[in-house]
Amino acid sequence: MKHAVRTLACLAGAVLATGAAQSQTPAGVTLFGVADIGYLDSRPDAVAGRAATPAATRGLEDGIQTPSRVGLYGTEALGGGVNAKFWLEHGFAADTGIAQQGGRMWGRQAWVALQSAAGEFRLGRQHGVGYEFFIAGVSPFGVTFRDAGMGSVFSSASGRLILDNVVEYRTPNLAGFSGAIGYSFNAAAAEVPGGGNNTSVLTTGAQYRRGPVVAVVTYESINCPANATTNVSNTCNAQRKDDQTHLQVGGSFDFKVARLYAAWAQEQNQFTLTAITPSKDSTSIMLGASAKLLGGEVLASWQSRDDKAYGADLRGWALGYTYAMSARTNVYGFYSDTTAKDTPSAQTVAAGVITAEGYTAAQTGAYWDRNRAQFGIGLRHRF
């Protein structure tokens, strides 16, 4: 990671050196946002060995297709081909009006940047590359749509990967190719003394988007701090200090009559920061398709997650449909069915030391909660 920081510093200097720093034109500021709200019916299925099956939940939910947000962004020309940029993005729940991301004012993103022909250099709270690059073009349902989205089995694409304290370099778009590399000095809080005592993150990736082709590869490495004290397995295990890693590959091809999608991920040493389910070693797969139908678009996918260490596997399929009422407003519906019926290996602790790795009772219950069917319909408006 030290090498990554040095690389970022050199790239930052190259970007800064490409133009003058004197402001020449006033900044333009744009207001944007999404309001998405719908009805969601989530029905858990019984699991052998579980004392009771949770009750079904039905009601209005925020952000079924896209999490609701409001934000501001702007650009100012500084001269010499250099632009200053900023982005402030606030997440909220459209069904209740409350703030998301733990109540942060700008919880989704908050960064400033310098941009030139050499690329873009950003500082602040940002999406991890493994989340941003997978939002569009890699799954028919994107990373949301509740259990139908690829965020239900791919950890980096889950939307949990929004990082504090990030310095990031992004390449210009070169005939469809682009890339990014970033380093978070502490992913979920202010930095503390001692570099090894922070949950630092390396996030990087490359993508090609041109014509009918989308191809993406990303990688994240999340540091387990030296001062970690918890002994809960895969919550940054204090005994082993294993780093969490995610390697994701995905893409799609538009055959005109239909677009086909595929994605694969290898994830190791999963802990709380972004983990879908705790796992030392898991593989995720998604196959999907979309096609125009009756003025809208039909969506379909199949997903799996194989846990090689604890046996907590997931399988799921989904069907959906979206219909654009205008350039900014659409209605949607989906149905998904997820299977999570395994009994994961149990963790045992003696005298504060893990004697057998595995799931805690709470982690097993959360895994079994994923054994369910979901149905949702909603309305999304973008502005």
Got the DSSP string for 321-366?
EEEESSSSEEEEEEEEEEE----PPBPEEETTEEEE-SB-HHHHHH
Q: What is residue 147's three-state secondary structure?
A: helix
Tokens of 48: 């052998």
Q: What is residue 3's three-state secondary structure?
A: helix
> Smallest Cα–Cα separation from 114: which of 81, 162, 71?
81
What pLDDT score does 228 carry?
72
Does the pLDDT value for residue 16 go beyond 50?
no
Does the pLDDT value for residue 23 go beyond 50?
no
- Rounded-to-integer distance, Cα 121 and Cα 183, Å: 12
Does the pLDDT value for residue 14 go beyond 60?
no
What pLDDT score does 343 carry?
94
- Rounded-to-integer distance, Cα 107 and Cα 162, Å: 8
Distances (CA, A) of 239 to 21, 268, 282, 363: 49, 16, 21, 19
The CATH number that applies at residue 259 is 2.40.160.10
Confidence class for position 350, pLDDT limits 50, 70, 90: confident
Q: Say what percent of the chain tops pLDDT 70.
A: 88
- In this structure, are residues 191 and 201 in contact, taking their beta carbons and an 8 Å threshold? no
Confidence class for position 2, pLDDT limits 50, 70, 90: very low
Averaged pLDDT for residues 81-101: 96
Averaged pLDDT for residues 114-125: 98
> Which structural domain range is residue 82 located in?
2-382
What pLDDT score does 277 carry?
80
Does the pLDDT value for residue 366 go beyond 60?
yes
Residue 293 DSSP one-character state: E
Mean of the per-residue pLDDT values of the chain: 89
Give me the DSSP letters along 167-213.
Answer: EEEEPPPBTTEEEEEEEESSTTS---SSGGGS--EEEEEEEEEETTE
Cα 328 from chain centroid (whole Å): 23
- Rounded-to-integer distance, Cα 40 and Cα 169, Å: 39
Contacts of 22 (CB under 8 A, 6+ apart): 78, 79
pLDDT in tens, 155-204: 888 877 899 999 999 999 999 999 999 999 999 888 989 878 888 999 99
Q: Say what percent of the chain tops pLDDT 90.
A: 72
What pLDDT score does 5 carry?
45
Higher pLDDT, 237 or 291: 291
Domain total for the chain? 1
- Rounded-to-integer distance, Cα 179 and Cα 190, Å: 27
Tokens of 133: 């690059």
Does the pLDDT value for residue 290 go beyond 70?
yes
Does the pLDDT value for residue 243 go beyond 60?
yes
Higher pLDDT, 158 or 248: 248
pTM, two decimals, is 0.89
> Smallest Cα–Cα separation from 201: which of 244, 264, 230, 171?
244
- Rounded-to-integer distance, Cα 274 and Cα 134, Å: 15
